[in-house]
Every structure is written in structure tokens, then in C-alpha cells.
Structure 1
């Protein structure tokens, strides 16, 4: 497992993302379990990013990373230092995008059809309530490539929210566009989630009172509900 060796830079954001260096010498973005909704957010981001990345979406890959108990936590503000102390143990590392620029000004309707379909598919399946006009959660790298980021607020662990509608959330940037025949949604429906369910750290699941079989059933039920809803 990766181990945090150095904190390089703090970023703005409700989840307190941090640029880090790990024991393999590489750079990642760290998201800590002490922030926001804790382990629930890490599980959601882990599964969404792993699925999207492996299918081929422009979504950063992720993996667990350890903040050791003896890690020197005095770095930023008192609030941040307290957050690090609360996050000793297994957290989440996202691949670092070189020369990244967030909060980019883009014309949403100008995104190519492939990217739009990928966004709609991943956000619909995993019920992302946090891709809005005010916060579109896109990132652009030095080549101009746009990345789809920030999936800790997806609500696929909340089964009641999963079954509300055949549409994207009402605040979504593409709320008025259909998803039924989205080719990338079909790829998600056909995806084998099992390898990534097995990779979810047990400590995260314990923190929110779930087991791996619960994740398995939630995802299986979501697939079955979508197939049934769109076949009628």
C-alpha cells in the first residue's frame, strides 16, 4: 500500500484536498477520511473513479494510501492539522494531473458528445448531486484535456435516492438531456464491479456500518432497476 511521506501543498475545497508525495516517490492528490462525510465519501469516490477510469473515461485513477500514526501533522492551519490527526490510517490517493487548472470557464454545451455522454452516464448511475452550474467539477490539464473529478458526493450508497427518477438530478448541468440510450451508461451496466468491491478497505466499511456484500447488493440493485425502468 502507498504511504504518505510528505505534504507538498494544500488546496481550497470542502474536502481539503492535498498534494502529497508517497513512499514510491510519486505525486498524488490526497483526500482524507477526517473531512466531510468521512469514509462514506472515500468509498463513493473510490468506486466511481475506479469504474470510470477502467472503462476509459477521463477520470483520475485512485488507490488507498496510508497516513501513518507517527506522521508529522503540523503543517497548515489548526483546522487542517486537526484534520490530519483525525485521518491517521487508510485514506484515498488520486492520480495527480500535471499543471491542473480547476474552476475552468467552459461553455458546457461546447463539450464534445463523447465527454457529455460520459458525464451523464457516470453521474446518472452513481447519482451525482454535485455537478452544477456553480460547481461543474471539471479540471483542465496543460494539454487542454478536460478531466471529470470530485465524486465524493455521489449518493449511490443511499438506496432510496437511487430510485427516484429516470433523469439526472434536478440541479445537474445536463438535467434536461436524456440518458436512456447513452452508450456509456450501457458500459457501466455491463461492468464487473466485483474486483473493486474487493479492493474497498474494510476499515472504511466498518466506519459506516457496511459490509462488502452490502455494496454488492446496492450496485446489483441499481443495475437491475435501470434495466427495468428503461425497458418499460
Structure 2
């Protein structure tokens, strides 16, 4: 599918369920793996199913390719015996429906939630993050839910599971790939994003079709469960085509962001 080497994600096995993170509806958890590290584990058995993991994987690896700081993403195996001793019935069901391959982010111990009233973000970085989220149609970078962390005095991006919402109704993906992202008006960094045109040129040069295809190629087959496609690779192709079309027509979402920003300044 691609001439570019795809990202190489490690695969680990869960050894200990530490604690649930109840901030979101998907009920992620801190878990320990057999490499000795702690991870924020995203479960395939949660509300949005594997599609949230696909969005997390694609969004995170595109962000990494563009130079953002992203916690390491790993594939995580969850054994069927793991949840049998869990006393919480809700969590026990979640673990039961998540047996197999899941996704996790390296846990950034001591990180604090980004607060826009406390931390100044430079114009270029703000523009880069706004561009990324407009590309990915990421609805979760608002003042109420910034999905950014400060760790060792640096800004880290987390949680792209709500991005790529086109895949919850893929029958009109071509039309959706060329739509402006009107929700960008709620972006926590929009007011500071004055360099969108410059960032657009830089990021389009990086996000070539081969590089996008390479990222999409690592989506595991058993996450690609949409029965409207004959094969997993057919579904992968739609993700690649959606993103490549969106990059090729980035002026649509850049213009929308610039228009939304003009009403704030």
C-alpha cells in the first residue's frame, strides 16, 4: 500500500489494571504492562468500539510525523482471564469485551492538564495544532476539554479518539472529506493561530500520500469491522483517501479556521 516504511509500534501485554480514568465516557484506565511501564489504556470494548482506537492511532501518528510531542502509542494485548477478578461489574464487562488487541499511550507521570490561562502558547505552535485538528476533524480540543498536557515544561498532545468522525457514517466519506470543519470555532488555541497559511504550506509538504498511506497501513485487521467493506484493506483505503483528499483541499478547512478566528480578534 505504501513505499514509505510505516511507523513501528511495540506490542505489550497487560499485567495489572491499576485504576480507571473516569473523566471520559470511554472509561480508559491506567494499566501496567509486561515491559514494566504504565500506560493509559484505551479499550476496544468501550462505547465507540474499535473506531475510537483507529482515530487515536491515525491522529497520534500523524501528529508525531508533523513534529508534535505525543506519548508513545503501543498495541496492547488483553487476555480473557484478566478481568475475572475485577469486582466492578461495569469494568468487568469492559474488559470482557476488550479481549485481544487494544491501544495505549505511555503514561506521563506528573503531567498536568494544559490551562490556557496559565500557559502561553506561541503563535506558530498554536497554528500548527489548529491545522492538525481541522485536518482530523477533532472536536476535543476546547477550553472545557483541552486534551493537552504540560510535562517537563513542554506541551504534549493526547487523546485523538473523537477525531475522524466521518467514519461513524462512511457512506458519504468523499463529500465529508471536502467539508470545512465548523467546530474549529470552539478550539482552545484558535485565537492565537495567526500563522495558518504558513503552516498549511509546511504541513502539506510533509503529509504526502505515501506517508499517510504508511500510517493507515498499520491499522490492525481486527479493528476494521465495518461490514459495508468486503475486506479490511478496502476500509483502510477509505481512511487513506479521506485524509489525502483532505490534505489536497486543505484550503477549505484553513479558510474556515481563518474566518472563525476573525470573529474572535
TM range (shorter): 0.7 to 0.9
Alignment counterpart, residue 247 of structure 2, candidates 209, 223, 229:
223
Match of 1:138 in 2: 148
Unaligned runs of 5+ in 2: 1-10, 168-172, 230-234, 256-265
Local SS of the residue matching 1:136: coil
1:122-201 matches, cutoff 5 A = 122-141=132-151, 143-155=152-164, 157-158=166-167, 159=173, 160-165=175-180, 169-175=184-190, 177=193, 179-182=196-199, 185-190=203-208, 192-201=211-220
Question: Are residue 88 (structure 1) and residue 99 (structure 2) matched?
Answer: yes
- The 1:156/1:220 distance shift into structure 2, 3 A limit, reads farther
Local SS of the residue matching 1:9: strand
Q: CA deviation at 1:122?
A: 1.3
Q: Once the two structures are superposed, what CA deviation does each residue of 1:131-154 show, in whole Å capped at 9, x if it has no partner?
A: 11211111122x222211111111
- Two-structure CA RMSD over aligned residues (Å): 2.7
- TM-score calculated relative to the size of structure 1: 0.85
Q: Once the two structures are superposed, what CA deviation does each residue of 1:32-85 show, in whole Å capped at 9, x if it has no partner?
A: 011131111100010110121233201223122111222234336321221111
* Equivalent-residue separation in structure 2 for 1:25 and 1:34 (angstroms): 24
- The 1:7/1:204 distance shift into structure 2, 3 A limit, reads same
* Equivalent-residue separation in structure 2 for 1:46 and 1:79 (angstroms): 25
Q: CA deviation at 1:206?
A: 1.8
Task: Give the number of the structure whose residues are more often helix, by fraction.
Answer: 2
Does the 8 A contact of 2:139 with 2:184 survive in 1? yes
Unaligned runs of 5+ in 1: none
Local SS of the residue matching 1:119: helix
Alignment counterpart, residue 12 of structure 1, candidates 1, 19, 22:
22
Does the 8 A contact of 1:34 with 1:86 survive in 2? yes
- The 1:73/1:147 distance shift into structure 2, 3 A limit, reads farther
Question: Are residue 58 (structure 1) and residue 69 (structure 2) matched?
Answer: yes
* Equivalent-residue separation in structure 1 for 2:227 and 2:108 (angstroms): 30
Does the 8 A contact of 1:129 with 1:155 survive in 2? no
Higher mean C-alpha displacement, 89-98 vs 203-212: 203-212
* Equivalent-residue separation in structure 1 for 2:186 and 2:252 (angstroms): 25
- The 1:82/1:76 distance shift into structure 2, 3 A limit, reads same
Q: CA deviation at 1:87?
A: 0.8
Does the 8 A contact of 1:9 with 1:18 survive in 2? yes
Question: Are residue 115 (structure 1) and residue 134 (structure 2) matched?
Answer: no
